Amino acid sequence: MASEILRREQTDKSTTQPQLEQGMHPSFLNVLIQKKSIKEKTAGIKHRIGVYSAKGGVGKTTVAVNLAYALSEMGLSVGLLDADIDCPNVTFFMGINTVIPQDYPLKPVVKDGIKVMSTALFIEDKEKPIMWRGPMKGKMLREFFENTSWGDLDYIIIDLPPGTSDTPLSLMQLLDLDGILLVTTPQSIAAKNAIRSGYMAKRMNIHLFGVVETMSGNSPAGALHVSKVLNTDLLGTIKYDEKFNECSDIGKVPFLTEKHIHDAFEDIAKKLSSLGKKTSS
C-alpha cells in the first residue's frame, strides 16, 4: 500500500508543476494547490464535520460512528472517514472485516447505508501495526479525498486522531470543513485538552459546532466549562454506560440497539443538522 501511494505522488508531481507567485513560499503554494484539488474532487459532499479532541480515548470514534448512524436514520446520505490513519478503529466499532483492493479510485465499503473508508480496510491482519511517519499519513489522507469515490453525500463525518499535529493539522488546513464537534469527558484533563483542541480550530479559522460530553455522570460541569471558555454550545451529553464497551467489543453499534443511546445521538444529530456553516468566533 505504502509504495503505491508514493508512486502516485511522483506521477502527480510530474503532471502538476506549481506556479510560484512572487513572494509566495513554496510550501504555502503547495497547500493551496492541494486544497483546491480536494475541493474539486469532493464537490459532491455537502457537509464535512470533524469529530475531534487532542486527547486520546475520550470517545471520538464512538461519537463519530453513532452520529453517522443518527444522521443516516434521518434520511441523509452519510460517509464516515476514519482519519486515524495509523491506528484506525472505526471498522472495529462497526464490525467490518472486509479487505478492499487498492484500485483507484478507492471505493468505500457500505455498511447499513453508510459509506466507510479507513486504512484498516486495506489490511488483512487487522491487528498488524501501521508504522508510518507524518508525511506518509498526510499522503494517505489526501488519497481519501482526492482518489476516493465518495459520490454525492449530505454529510461526511471525519473521525480524527488525537494530537495537534500531522493528521489533524493537515485536515484542518486542506479540507473545507463546515466545523468541528469537540468531544470531552468529565475529567479535567479531558476538558483542558478539549479547550486546547478548540483553540487550534479557532486558530485554523474553523467553526466549532459545540461540545459533546461522553462517559458523563450527573452533571456536565467539565463540558460546560469547555463550551464557556470557547464560546460555543454544549450539544449533548452521553452517560457512562457499559453497553458502549459491550457493543464495541463485538462490533455492534449501540445506536441501533439501545434506545437511550439512540435518542441521545438523535438529539445531537438534529441539533447539528440545524446548524449552518459559520465562521469561527
Quote the CA–CA distance of 21 and 239 in Å, as a whole number: 53
Look at residue 248 and give the partner it binds from ligand ATP, Mg ion, none, a contact being a CB closer than 5 to 8 Å depending on partner kind. ligand ATP
Q: Are 42 and 117 in contact (CB under 8 A)?
A: no
For every residue of 60-111, DSSP letters joined together read: HHHHHHHHHHHHHHTT--EEEEE--SSS--HHHHHT-------PSSB-PEEE
| Contact between 60 and Mg ion per CB under 5 A | yes
* The three grid cell numbers given for residue 213, joined into one nine-digit string: 460530553
| Contact between 186 and ligand ATP per CB under 6 A | no
CB closer to ligand ATP, 42 vs 237: 237
| Contact between 184 and Mg ion per CB under 5 A | no
Q: Which amino acid is at 183?
A: V
Q: Which residues lie across from 104 on neighbouring strands?
A: none
CB 183 to ligand ATP: min, Å: 6
CB 107 to Mg ion: min, Å: 23
CB 84 to Mg ion: min, Å: 5
Task: Work out whether the CA dihedral 120, 11, 15, 174 comes out positive or negative.
Answer: positive
What is the number of alpha carbons within 13 Å of residue 140 lying toward its C-beta?
A: 28
* The three grid cell numbers given for residue 215, joined into one nine-digit string: 462517559
Look at residue 137 and give the partner it binds from Mg ion, ligand ATP, none, a contact being a CB closer than 5 to 8 Å depending on partner kind. none
Q: Are 87 and 194 in contact (CB under 8 A)?
A: no
Contact code string over 55-74 relative to ligand ATP, x by CB under 6 A:
-xxxxxxx------------
CB closer to Mg ion, 77 vs 94: 94
Coil, helix or strand at residue 105: coil
Quote the CA–CA distance of 135 and 118 in Å, as a whole number: 17
Quote the CA–CA distance of 56 and 230 in Å, as a whole number: 20
CB 8 to ligand ATP: min, Å: 27
| Contact between 166 and ligand ATP per CB under 6 A | no
Stretch that binds ligand ATP, among 37-45, 52-60, 149-157, 166-174 (CB under 6 A): 52-60
Look at residue 238 and give the partner it binds from Mg ion, ligand ATP, none, a contact being a CB closer than 5 to 8 Å depending on partner kind. ligand ATP
| Contact between 245 and ligand ATP per CB under 6 A | yes
Which parts of this chain interact with Mg ion (CB under 5 A)?
Answer: 60-61, 89
Which parts of this chain interact with ligand ATP (CB under 6 A)?
Answer: 56-62, 84, 89, 161-162, 214-215, 238, 240-241, 244-245, 248
